[in-house]
Structure 1
Amino acid sequence: MTHPRHSVSVAAVIPDEQGRVLVIQRRDNGAWQLPGGVLELDEAIEDGMRREVVEETGVQVEPVRLTGVYKNMKLGVVALVFRAQLVAGTPRPTEESAAVDWWTPERVRAEMNETFAARILDALDADAPPAVRHHDGVRLLDPTGSR
């Protein structure tokens, strides 16, 4: 008998000097999100985050710190989100992203799905410990989260 298993994804919040964050528009559904994706089975967590960022933006980053753990309760996906710094390259669309842009926190709050906006806003709170949140894919199930 097989049991359901969790999937693990990794993502990066990459701020610039003006406090904006790098976001991508996904080719498959047009949604604006953080660069990130599914961690490969044999891949170290930080390596997966670096790989996903390159695949979706063309830039190289280094993780600074873990800023949150987010679980999609409907899909069983656990996302590990890191604040990261840009170390090489210029952001550009790739085979996986239709567009890349730098968004202000205000634009993130106004235009991004609540579950993805929380990941960015949590990461920009430099003094906070990593957030632990649960969501249904659209809305946070614990809006205050735990820290």
Structure 2
Amino acid sequence: MPKTDYLNDPDAPRANALVVAVAVVVLDESGRVLLIRRSDNGYWALPGGAQDLGESTAQAAIREVSEETGIDVEIVGISGIYSNPRHVIAYDDGEVRQEFSICLRARPVGGSLRTSDESSQVDWVDPAELAERRIHPTMLLRIKHGLEAQEPYIG
């Protein structure tokens, strides 16, 4: 379902949902980050999505990366928790979510790159090339925090 992100926009629709979501910073041995080009809005992003009932946050992260990229991962840490009430995501079905995303760090353990219904492209991206990609500011923040070796971000 197509989506539109609003950040600090006074004309943004009012949130009517809060959903636990995961995003995953996967770094390969060269320090490149795994990104997808989203099929719904064309932006480059970390793989991720909503956590399903009956699964842990780590299980959701592993599943989402595999589904969207073809890469199998092992979770190695937490990068941050993102819950900015001024960031809402509006879907074409009328749902407007307040941001709530847990961003984890992972390393690849198998699989091979492939696209999915949610990803029109999948690529390992050198951090120096991030500026060349169309990335929403909230996603770029997650990527930058994931590349930094520090305490998890909470905001």
Interval of TM-score (by shorter of Structure 1 and Structure 2): 0.7 to 0.9
1:129 and 2:141 are equivalent in the alignment? no
Tell me whether 1:12 sits opposite 2:59 in the alignment.
no
Mapping 1:93-104, distance limit 5 Å: 93-104=115-126
Contact 1:109 1:117 in 2 (8 A): no
Pairing 1:89–2:101 present: no
TM-score, normalised to structure 1's length?
0.81
Alpha-carbon shift at residue 125 of structure 1 (Å): 1.0
Q: Which residue of 2 aligns with 1:67?
A: 79
Deviation, structure 1 residue 102: 1.4
Please give the TM-score of this superposition, normalised by the length of structure 2: 0.77
Gaps of 5+ in 1: 134-147
Aligned to 1:27: 39
| Structure with the larger RCO, 1 or 2 (CA within 8 Å, 6+ apart) | 2
For 1:93 and 1:86, locate their aligned partners in 2 and report how far apart those are by CA, in whole Å: 16
Distance 1:69 1:79 in 2: 6
Gaps of 5+ in 2: 1-15, 89-96
Cα RMSD (Å):
1.5
Instruction: Write the letter of the residue equivalent to 1:54.
Output: S
Q: In structure 1, what is the Cα distance between the partners aligned to 2:84 and 2:65? A: 21
> Counterpart of 1:30 in 2: which secondary structure?
coil
1:115 matched to 2:138? The reply is yes
Number of the residue aligned with 1:39: 51
- 1:40 aligned partner, one-letter code: D
User: CA–CA distance in 2 between the matches of 1:92 and 1:72?
Assistant: 32
Is the CA contact (8 Å cut-off) linking 1:37 and 1:52 kept in structure 2? yes
Structure 2: how far apart are the matches of 1:81 and 1:32?
A: 16
Distance (Å, rounded) in 1 between the aligned partners of 2:140 and 2:126? 11
| Count of paired positions | 129
Question: Aligned residue for 1:54?
Answer: 66
